[in-house]
Amino acid sequence: MKLLLISFVLGLGVLSLGSLDFTPTINKEIVEAQEFLLVQDYERSIAKYKEILKKNPGNELKVKIYYQLGEIYSTNLGKNDEAIDYFTKVKELTEDPLFLVKSEERIGEIAFSFSKNFTQSFLSYKNLSEFTPKLGNFDFYQFRMAVSSFKKGNIEESIKTFETIQSNTNHKFFLDSFYYLGLINFHRKQWNRSLVYLKEFIKRESKKDLVVQAKFLMANIYESKEELKTAYDLYYSILGKYPNTQVVQNRLKSIYSRRIARKR
């Protein structure tokens, strides 16, 4: 918890007492709020920050308190809706690029990883990708945009973005684009197109768990295409490697029974 508070003070300048001009009373209340935070008394810390806000301090301090409240609600209490409300207040109140970027990043991350609100995460990462000059994490934002599009069901938009990523061999998510284009075409039942992307992904990927996942999808495709021997061989090759062993065993048994039935 102490490290979290230090990161606010030193990294973003949040509630850095020497950086703003405010009354000794507010100064004292900020110290109290931070002390509650240090001992993980989050509710009292929140209450103290809200008391400060009722005194209508200047916008610069408001922005820092809103950001702090967003972090407490998201990181410490897991109250994602409240957190997004406060990060949104930051965006509405300031034009400081640092706070605009950090708040949008937090909204995007919460929406993508926790709330599973992929419409919101798409909008956040789209906003971040449109900053001028281009931000250092542009590749990540673009990748998250593409995944969010896929997750919210906008398949054509997702394909277009992944194809843009794939056109740039220096893109940090160049390799991931092969897997996702394979996955998207798998869901579209475009079996042959999916296989092309998944095979390319396997050729290039060195992480064994990701290769196993791609092979599982390929086995599904061959099973759907009634190419049962190829499907069986692929399932067998990942037996004991795929996270859910029972699923693979069930597939092997099913294919074996179907192949026996064919011979009768």
pLDDT at 5: 40
Given a cut of 70, the residues of the chain with pLDDT beneath it are: 1-22, 264
pLDDT at 159: 97
pTM as predicted: 0.88
Query: pLDDT per residue over 5-16, tens digit each?
Result: 434 443 344 455
User: What distance in Å separates the CA atoms of residue 101 and residue 224, rounded to the nearest whole number?
Assistant: 45
Is residue 144 within 8 Å of 108, Cβ to Cβ? Answer: yes
Coil, strand, or helix at residue 79?
A: coil
DSSP string covering 203-241, please? Answer: HH---HHHHHHHHHHHHHHHHHTT-HHHHHHHHHHTTTT
Q: How many Cα atoms sit within 13 Å of 177 on the Cβ side?
A: 23
pLDDT at 22: 59
The residue with tokens 């075409």 is 185
Alpha carbon separation from 173 to 137, 163, 249 (Å, rounded): 11, 11, 33
pLDDT at 27: 87
Alpha carbon separation from 30 to 16, 83, 205, 211 (Å, rounded): 10, 20, 50, 51
pLDDT at 25: 83
**Amino acid in position 195:** L
